Amino acid sequence: MARYVVGGKGAATAATADHAIAGIWNPSTSKRIKVLEVHAFLITAVAVEVVLRRTTARGTAGSTITPTSVNEMEQIANPPSGFLLDLAAYTVQPTLAGTTNDLHGAQIPAAIGAGIMWVMSGEGLEIPAGAGIALTSRVAAAAQARVNFVVED
């Protein structure tokens, strides 16, 4: 499996609880991917509780980054799954799996540059075909962040 690093700067979310800041979507019909790391650093000084949640429907992001061989560690191949990085502000929120099923969570203080780095233990966080994960704001705060994901595909 190859490793890809993909990141971007999202627009501020609405000041509504559980709005997505960014997400990884696996559009493949047969291929699983693994998220190995998630990084998020605030662009605006707003206190926010961020949580990582599984998604069952993609939603409509304000912008999307399609990784290519440029994002691959050895710069050899495009991701076989065709996975995508979606950034806020979403016009239609992704469908979150469950109401409180957090995979990871952290409180980020109101300081530009404050953030989190999650390194998934073991083999990484598997995302099956036709599913995803979203980094969301658990509280009603207009969060804007620079995000990076390390994905094995």
Residue 57 above 90 pLDDT? Answer: yes
Residue 1 has pLDDT above 90, yes or no: no
Q: Is the pLDDT of residue 15 over 90?
A: no
Quick check: bond before 89 cis, omega within 30?
Answer: yes
Q: CB-based contacts of 140: which residues, under 8 Å, 6+ apart?
A: 15, 16, 17
What would the mean pLDDT of 107-128 be, rounded to a whole number? 94
pLDDT at residue 20 greater than cutoff 80: yes
- Mean pLDDT estimate for the chain: 93
pLDDT at 27 over 80: yes
> What confidence score (pLDDT) does residue 11 get?
87
CA distance 16 to 128: 28
What integer is the mean pLDDT of 26-45? 96
* CA 58 – CA 131 distance, rounded (Å): 7
pLDDT for 100? 72
| Amino acid at the residue 151 | V
- Nearest-angstrom CA–CA distance, 114 and 143: 12
DSSP 53: E
| Weakest mean pLDDT among 67-76, 95-104, 138-147 | 95-104
